[in-house]
Amino acid sequence: MKAKSSGLIIGISIGVVIGALLAIIGLLCFRFHRKRSQIGNSSSRRAATIPIRANGADSCTVLSDSSIGTESSRTSIHNGILSWIGGPRKSHVVAASGILEYSYKDLQKATCNFTSAIGKGAFGSVYKAQMTTGETVAVKVLATNSKQGEKEFHTEVMLLGRLHHRNLVNLVGYCAEKGQHMLIYVYMSKGSLSSHLYSEKHETLSWSLRVQIALDVARGLEYLHDGAVPPVIHRDIKSSNILLDQSMGARVADFGLSREDMLNRNATNIQGTFGYLDPEYISTRAFTKKSDVYSFGVLLFELIAGRNPLQGLLELVELASLNTGGQVGWEEIADPHLDGKFDERELNDMAALAYKCVNRSPRKRPAMRDTVQVLSHILKTRHEKKRSASEVVIATGQSDRQNSMNGEHCRAESLDSTADYVDV
């Protein structure tokens, strides 16, 4: 009997110990789970105030080379999965949107306590930051008193985190700490298109580069309009929002004013930049893809004329259109800095396209995909012309060789002209 009861006591004790152990394990699991979801929330709470977008159709497949390059320090990212990288530090948490959350402390260090300013816009100041991983990024600090900027912050983190294209300035991270909000972008070492067009600091942009820049921008916008799901309207296309990378590739920056197409219809305040704004938008307050096309048309004329919309660019265009009928004769508005060094036909084709883009009637404006086609055609024709010209030169070279064998001295001359064709 005694043995039986002591067996019972031992059984109960073991049961209590096992129960207590299970309860402790359960509690630990619960706390661990709660901590993980808190971290997740801290980085995506703000973003949750706007609807979550589906990934752009090609958002993963069209990652640009440069963005891959600048993200080299983040080899262990699992896109879209919350994970720790490099130990329990908040600085490298990947939020649900697939971008990184940086710590304030790291950014403070990387910007030498925010002394490395490279510019200032409506959103706040922009700093160049050298991360300990070796990558260089641009940090845009939201001005704390800017309500507009705060709104933009939410929009940008959500939108840009999901949009990737070689002609967009990709958002690589953000910081929301100590009451500060910052956006971290791929660093664009050659600065803005406007600085190249208007600052004495830079050499004149060659005509061929201007056409290439126009095509890059058109491709970035085409992606936003037709590649992203649902489509995105930029709303602030202008030369200071076009940034250039090391090899002078152009990318569209600043989606602060972007809205998803469907959320876009009833905005009450006029947003955007004077001089680039679609007159139809000003009168109806409805911003459409065609409003971006209008701003893109203004940008094309800016590239052609080297003149800012605030310096009477569109008045100049209207005057010129009286002679050109929208077709040919646009060379009279060519940027004087080009010093006549441009292909007349290319300039006329690009101006005719720009003129269609700024048509007062949105329906008559082309879609971005059409502008990509026209600009690609201009460049294709140029390459074909160059190729056939160099073929002529090579053929001439062969007959020169023949001639020199016949005792004539034309070879050096023809080699020089080959060099000219290659350099153009």
Ligand X SMILES: Nc1ncnc2c1ncn2[C@@H]1O[C@H](COP(=O)(O)OP(=O)(O)OP(=O)(O)O)[C@@H](O)[C@H]1O
Of 225, 220, 263, nearest to 244 by C-alpha is: 220
Q: Out of 40, 80, 191, 397, which residue is the one contacting ligand X (CB under 6 A)?
A: 191
Q: What does 45 interact with, of ligand X, Mg ion, none (CB < 5 to 8 A by kind)?
A: none
**Cα distance from N-terminal residue to C-terminal residue, the chain:** 108
Of 375, 377, 319, nearest to 350 by C-alpha is: 375
Q: What does 122 interact with, of Mg ion, ligand X, none (CB < 5 to 8 A by kind)?
A: ligand X
Residues 204-243, mask of contacts with ligand X (x by CB under 6 A)? ------------------------------------xx-x
Least distance in Å: CB of 293 to ligand X?
A: 19
Q: Out of 102, 153, 174, 185, which residue is the one contacting ligand X (CB under 6 A)?
A: 185
Q: Out of 94, 100, 138, 160, which residue is the one contacting ligand X (CB under 6 A)?
A: 138
> Concatenated DSSP letters for 168-202?
B--EEEEEEETTEEEEEEE--TT-BHHHHHH-TTS
104-109 contacts at long range (C-beta below 8 A, 24 or more positions apart): 104/175, 104/177, 104/178, 104/180, 106/131, 106/132, 107/139, 107/175, 107/182, 107/184
Residue number with CB closer to Mg ion (185 or 355): 185
Per the residue annotation, which of 236, 254, 292, 400 is the catalytic one?
Answer: 236
Residue number with CB closer to ligand X (199 or 402): 199
Residues forming the site for Mg ion (CB under 5 A): 121, 241, 254
Residue number with CB closer to ligand X (173 or 362): 173
Least distance in Å: CB of 121 to Mg ion?
A: 5
Q: Please give the residue whose beta carbon sits closest to ligand X in the complex.
A: 121
- φ/ψ of 186, rounded to 5, equals -55, 135
Tokens linked to 331: 């060379």
Q: Out of 141, 142, 175, 188, which residue is the one contacting ligand X (CB under 6 A)?
A: 188
Match 């790291």 to its residue by tokens: 106
Least distance in Å: CB of 58 to ligand X?
A: 22
Tokens linked to 381: 């024709």
The amino acid occupying position 258 is S
236 is catalytic: yes
Q: How far apart are CA 228 and CA 225, in angstroms?
A: 7
Least distance in Å: CB of 365 to ligand X?
A: 23
Q: Out of 47, 253, 350, 358, which residue is the one contacting ligand X (CB under 6 A)?
A: 253
Match 């469907």 to its residue by tokens: 262
The residues in 140-179 that bind ligand X, with binding defined as CB under 6 A, are 169
Q: How far apart are CA 369 and CA 222, in angstroms?
A: 6
147 known ligand binder: no
Q: Out of 118, 229, 263, 367, which residue is the one contacting ligand X (CB under 6 A)?
A: 118
Q: How far apart are CA 365 and CA 359, in angstroms?
A: 6
Q: How far apart are CA 120 and CA 239, in angstroms?
A: 15
CB 273 within 8 A of CB 122: no
Residue number with CB closer to Mg ion (122 or 379): 122
Q: Which region, judged by CB under 6 A, interacts with ligand X, from 188-196, 305-313, 367-375, 381-389?
A: 188-196
Residue number with CB closer to Mg ion (255 or 342): 255
Cis peptide before 230 (omega within 30 of 0): yes
**Rg of the chain on CA atoms, in Å:** 29
Residue number with CB closer to ligand X (55 or 125): 125
Q: What does 40 interact with, of Mg ion, ligand X, none (CB < 5 to 8 A by kind)?
A: none
Q: Is 319 left (phi over 0), alpha (psi -120 to 50) or beta?
A: alpha
Q: How far apart are CA 222 and CA 373, in angstroms?
A: 11
Strand-pair partners of 174? 101, 183
DSSP 8-state code for residue 64? -
Q: Out of 40, 80, 119, 397, which residue is the one contacting ligand X (CB under 6 A)?
A: 119
Question: Looking at the chain, how many residues does it have?
Answer: 424
Residue number with CB closer to ligand X (120 or 202): 120
> How many H-runs (helices) and E-runs (strands) does the chain carry?
12, 11
Least distance in Å: CB of 334 to Mg ion?
A: 27
Q: What does 414 interact with, of Mg ion, ligand X, none (CB < 5 to 8 A by kind)?
A: none
The amino acid occupying position 9 is I
Q: What does 138 interact with, of Mg ion, ligand X, none (CB < 5 to 8 A by kind)?
A: ligand X
Q: Out of 174, 187, 223, 287, which residue is the one contacting ligand X (CB under 6 A)?
A: 187
Q: What does 126 interact with, of ligand X, Mg ion, none (CB < 5 to 8 A by kind)?
A: ligand X
Q: What does 337 interact with, of Mg ion, ligand X, none (CB < 5 to 8 A by kind)?
A: none
Q: Which residues are catalytic?
A: 236
Residues near ligand X (CB under 6 A) are: 118-123, 126, 138, 169, 185-188, 191-192, 240-241, 243, 253-254
Binding residues for ATP: 140
Binding residues: 140
